[in-house]
Structure formats: structure tokens, C-alpha cells
Structure 1
Amino acid sequence: MALNLEELGIAPAGLDAVRPFAVEGLDVRGRSVAFGPVLQSILDRHDYPEPVSRLLAEAIVLASLLGTSLKFDGRFTLQTQTQGPVSMLVVDFASPDAIRACATFDTGRVEALVKAGKATPEALLGHGHLAMTIDQGQHMQRYQGLVELDGISLEEVARRYFDRSEQIPTEVRLGVGELYTRNEGEGHSKTWTAGGILIQFLPEAPERLRQADIDPGDAPEGTQLHEMEEDDAWVEAKALVDTVQDVELTDPEVSVEMLLFRLFHERGVRLFDPQPLSDKCRCSREKIEGVLSGFSVEEKDEMTVDGRIVVTCEFCNAKYEFDG
């Protein structure tokens, strides 16, 4: 069954845009995204090793799905701090559309994992925690949720976060790929692509949201676990999303609308206006001057080289020079 958006009067979201949607027959709401030039621009700027770029791309996809849910002008930040070879990932989303990202890693440890064929996202992250922070602006309290990283994927991080912090059943799929294009003559060029889909079960009847208690862990032997059957609608929605293949999330020829139609056309899917994304850093000369003004004369002297203080933004690599 083909999908003709023109006949339906729907403009495709295209690349670098999040498409909110609802499957009312299953009491599900969600968002899906397909990345293109914005992701390429961010990753090209940093030129990280391939496994680090791939991991950061996953984090960018997840942060875009979560950040675009903000209903106010604010910021959403996803940050990992771990003992793994990639000790830190930071993705910063400023509503309505600005996204920036960077990573900190140990080159030797990353190369060792690559040589051993074990450079999986879980191995790169290692053990630590992931923080999701929502900043609603000046004079408003910040909210932060933490998820332990113990060898789990970023997909599982999102599931645990919403299950434990928000008590909202959530399913998420993330995909990152590379497209190789032959150039005239010799060689080829590589293009990063990525995509994701997130759904949440939000029925009107509160009793349908009941879930089993968190596993008691080291409870005494014989402790009876609290078990509950999942709602049939949620079981169906999860089963559909579980069929999504990475190629469907990373192929530029497979639009967000095509994917949602394949998954939910039997139930009916309602599309909302897409939210474009942009590669945009919030650094500026004025902001950095403000930071430097807080340092003492002695501290500034230590930063000065050849009479100049040079500050490089970790997100966009922009360099700012000041008199020492």
C-alpha cells in the first residue's frame, strides 16, 4: 500500500526535522526524526574516530526526540559521565530548534576496542550515569533526572528514565548509518545519516498505566515479585516499533511519514507540524568575555600566551582571542 503525501495534502517533514504524531487507536503519542546535513555538519566539525561519532550521533537523535517535547523556551541537556573510553557526551538542545554536541574520549582506549572488534556503544560508555536536565530559564527551578549506565544502550537509557522517573511506558529505536558515494575518478565520500522513533503510552484512564514495581534486586530468596500484565494496546504498539530496522531509520529515501504509515496505517496515525532542527551554537564573544571577567589577574596571566588569551568553544570549535 503506497503513501502519496501530495494526495493527502501533507508536506513531508524532510531531513533534520522532528515529526510529532499520535496513534489514537492505541493511545500512543510519539515523535520521529530523520537527520541529514545538520548531523553531518556537527560530526564533520569534530572529526572524531568513527565509533565516537556514531555514539554521539545516537545521543543527538535521542536528545532531539526529547528536547523538542519542551512546551516552553528553555534548554534540554543530555550528558553522560562514565569510566568508559568515551568519558563524556554532551548534547545541548535550546528550544525551539538549536542543537549542539561534543564528546570527550581516550583515543588509546577507543583504538584498543576497535582493534579487538568490541567498540560497541555499551563498551564505549562503560559504567557511570546519564543526566537529563531541563532548564526552564531564569528564575525557574531546573529539573534533572539520572539514569545509571551499567553496560546498557542509549535506547535502554530512555526506557529506564521514563519508567522510573515519569512512570510513562516508553519505547525508542535509534539508528545511525554511513552512506558511501563514489566520486568521479578515485575514492568516495562518506555521509552520516541517523534517525529515531519514540512512542509513549498515554491512555486517558489512569488505571491502564499501572506497572509492576521496580525489581527488588538483592531481595531475600523467595520474595514474590510484583507482576502485572501490560495493556494490549501498548503491547501492540511496542511490537510494531520493534519491527523497525536500522536501514529504515538511516535511509534518506525512507521518509518519516513513510515509516509511520508502514507501522500504523491499520490503526490510523495523526501527524502534527514538524519541528525543524538547526546546527547552532550559543557561544559568543560577549558570553566568553563575561566568563573571563570572573577570573583573577593571576588566573588570566596563567592563560596568557604571547600576550593573548585564546578560548576555543568545545561545541563548535570557534576561537576567540582576547588581550592578556
Structure 2
Amino acid sequence: MDAVRPFSVEGLDVRGRAVSLGPVVADILGRHKYPEPVSRLLAEAIVLTSLLGTSLKFDGRFTLQTQTDGPVSMLVVDFSSPDAIRACASFDEEAVASLSRDQATPEALLGRGHLAMTIDQGKHMQRYQGMVELDGISLEEVARRYFARSEQIPTEVRLAVGELFTRQEGEGPAQTWRAGGVLIQFLPDAPERMRQPDLHPGDAPEGTEAHALDEDDAWVEAKAIVETVKDIELTDPEIGVEILLFRLFHERGVRLYDPQPISDKCRCSREKIKGILTTFSDEEVAEMTIDDKIVVTCQFCNTHYEFDADKR
């Protein structure tokens, strides 16, 4: 079962979430059939959204979206409580193909722009949106900056994506995707212990430096532990998050909470698409019509919906 596992480490005043994704990420990427670098980047975004979306304390939606000038101009990952996730990407095929494997890093693929994290609590509730500038940084660094700026919570994140090859008797090797991640936050009882180095002073006069500030020893230790995690430990189905968390934190007293399942589900439906079509003018409908039919394809799940143009 693909699931997020919340946990706490009392000895380090840390709370966190870890996730290992197999069928969910494999099915999403398998439908889209994006180039390998785009698939890897989207998988990272799916992992990060899983970690953040399952932390919602209410029914609602969490959406992560990038808009940048890089080869991958947009990523959208949408999580709807309690467990549904969907994702898609927009990219320049030639620009992606021109990058070598070593060049196709998340930073190079994204380029410059911004990432938005939106929380939608439903009707009659105000939406919340946080923005992070993307200036050649990874999605891991995006999460660190987001929490440092918006919530002032020390946060560390590790994301990993891998390809798993299996072979059955009489058949050639089969490839599938795996992805995983771990996010920890320092939440001591005493707020003054949550000190962290200031962010870069930005528009301050040249030569101005961020105020030097030592981090709490417990948080330094927790970060150092997470930084030791190898990609294979986050993606290997034989390890799993429970074994990994025990390996990392057993000396400090790790406590695991009930897993929160993640499912590959799209919110599109024939009724929703039909409702959208009724908002278009006759001229716009005529432009969409081919052989008296209107065909709409969901960008998330690739489901095709066909309508008679005169019965929309």
C-alpha cells in the first residue's frame, strides 16, 4: 500500500512524515509517458505534495504548481483529502531532449519562476496561497524556504526517485517507477529553541550579511541524520518507511502513527466537463467541433470525453 507515515522523535523534538510510493507514481507516470527527466521531476513533486497534502487537518485540497522559464514550464500536483492525488506537466520537448543526463537536474529543468502552494478548504472558506521564488533551486530547497519564510519552522526534506527493473521467466526486463521522501520539522516546547539562520538579506546594501545564529543542537543532529539517507533507501520496496525510520532514529525513540494511504485518483467526470462546455459561446464551440463531435481530454488522467456538438 502506498502511504504516508507520520512519526515523531521525542528525543530530538522532531515531528515528520515519510512516504514510499510504488503503484501510484508508476501509474501516473505510465499514463503520461513523459521523457525520463520530466517523469523524474514530476515524481519528486508528487512525493512533496503527498508529504504536505496529508498534513491537512480538514477536508480540502492542496495544490503544488510551478510556472517557470525552464524546459519544464509547469508542474501541477493536486491532492484532495483524504487520499486522492493527480499530476501533470508541461514542457518543451526539444529543450528537454537537448540536455544530457547530467545536465537534466531539477534546477536546470525548472529554471526561474515561482512555485505556488494553495490550500482550498472548500466553499465559504478563504483559500490560502504561499509563493516561493524559483531561481535555480531544487524542490527540496523550495520546501525549506517555504517553511522558513511562511511559518518560521525549521524544516529538512529529502526526496528521491528511482527506476525499478524486474524480470519474469520468459519475459524481458520490465521497468517501473518508485519514489519516496522524508520531511522533518523541529517543534520544541520552548519557541526560543526554534532559532535558525536568517535568510539572505536580499535588497539590503551590498556587503550586508545574514545575522549569524547557531541552530539548536537537537535540530543539528536531526538534520545530519536525514542528510545520511540514500536515494535507494527511499525507493527500495524491500526497505519501506518503517524500517528506514527505525534505522535512522531508534536510538532517539521514534514513534510511528497510523499510515495515511495515497491513491491515484482524478476528480474529472463527464458531468463536470459538460458543465464547463455550457459556458462557451456558439462560436467557441464551433472551433472545438470536429465531425459534429467535441472531444475533451483530461490533462491529469488522459481520459477522453466525447460529446455531440448539438447536445452539449
1:91 corresponds to 2:58: no
Number of the residue aligned with 1:231: 216
1:274 corresponds to 2:259: yes
Distance in 2, matches of 1:223 and 1:17, equals 45
Selected match of 2:104 from 99, 111, 119:
119
Residues 148-182 of structure 1: CA distance to partner in whole angstroms, max 9, x if unpaired? 11111110010000001111000000010011123
Number of the residue aligned with 2:163: 178
What is the SS of the residue equivalent to 2:99?
A: helix
Q: Which 10-residue stretch deviates more, 134-143 or 201-210?
A: 201-210
1:59 corresponds to 2:45: yes
Number of the residue aligned with 1:8: none
Distance in 1, matches of 2:47 and 2:26, equals 13
Number of the residue aligned with 2:198: 213
1:137 corresponds to 2:122: yes
Number of the residue aligned with 1:49: 35
Distance in 2, matches of 1:158 and 1:141, equals 23
> TM-score by structure 1 length?
0.93
Partner AA of 1:214 in structure 2:
L
Partner AA of 1:272 in structure 2:
Y
Q: Percent identity?
A: 78
Selected match of 2:295 from 299, 310, 321:
310
Q: How far off is 1:218 after superposition? A: 4.7
Change (3 A) 1:203 1:286: same
Change (3 A) 1:235 1:108: same
What is the SS of the residue equivalent to 1:48?
A: coil
Distance in 1, matches of 2:207 and 2:86, equals 49
Distance in 2, matches of 1:295 and 1:225, equals 53
Q: How far off is 1:185 after superposition? A: 4.2
Residues 27-47 of structure 1: CA distance to partner in whole angstroms, max 9, x if unpaired? 110000001111111111101
Say whether the 8 Å CA contact 2:165–2:173 is kept in structure 1. Answer: yes
Give 1:252-271 correspondences, 5 Å limit: 252-271=237-256
Alignment size in residue pairs: 309
Structure 1 unaligned spans of 5+: 1-14
Change (3 A) 1:141 1:111: same
Distance in 1, matches of 2:206 and 2:32, equals 51
Number of the residue aligned with 1:241: 226
Distance in 2, matches of 1:224 and 1:278, equals 45
Selected match of 2:150 from 162, 165, 169:
165
Distance in 2, matches of 1:42 and 1:84, equals 22
Partner AA of 2:199 in structure 1:
I
Number of the residue aligned with 1:5: none
Change (3 A) 1:323 1:244: same
Distance in 2, matches of 1:263 and 1:282, equals 37
Number of the residue aligned with 1:108: 94
What is the SS of the residue equivalent to 1:265?
A: helix
Partner AA of 1:112 in structure 2:
S
Number of the residue aligned with 2:64: 78
What is the SS of the residue equivalent to 1:113?
A: coil
Distance in 2, matches of 1:61 and 1:46, equals 17
Residues 225-280 of structure 1: CA distance to partner in whole angstroms, max 9, x if unpaired? 31211011111110110110001001110111111001110110111100001000
Distance in 2, matches of 1:160 and 1:100, equals 24
What is the SS of the residue equivalent to 1:266?
A: helix
Number of the residue aligned with 2:22: 36
Change (3 A) 1:223 1:121: closer
Number of the residue aligned with 1:25: 11
Partner AA of 1:241 in structure 2:
V
Distance in 2, matches of 1:322 and 1:286, equals 11
Query: Structure 1 runs of 4+ off > 4 angstroms?
Result: none
Structure 2 unaligned spans of 5+: none
1:196 corresponds to 2:181: yes
Number of the residue aligned with 2:282: 297
Give 1:6-17 correspondences, 5 Å limit: 15-17=1-3
Distance in 2, matches of 1:210 and 1:75, equals 31
Q: How far off is 1:121 after superposition? A: 1.2
Q: How far off is 1:204 after superposition? A: 1.2
Residues 158-214 of structure 1: CA distance to partner in whole angstroms, max 9, x if unpaired? 000000111100000001001112344463110111110000011111111233432
Q: Which 10-residue stretch deviates more, 257-266 or 178-187?
A: 178-187
Residues 35-78 of structure 1: CA distance to partner in whole angstroms, max 9, x if unpaired? 11111111111011111111100000000000000010000000
Say whether the 8 Å CA contact 2:199–2:210 is kept in structure 1. Answer: no
Number of the residue aligned with 2:268: 283
Residues 276-308 of structure 1: CA distance to partner in whole angstroms, max 9, x if unpaired? 010000000111111111111111111111001
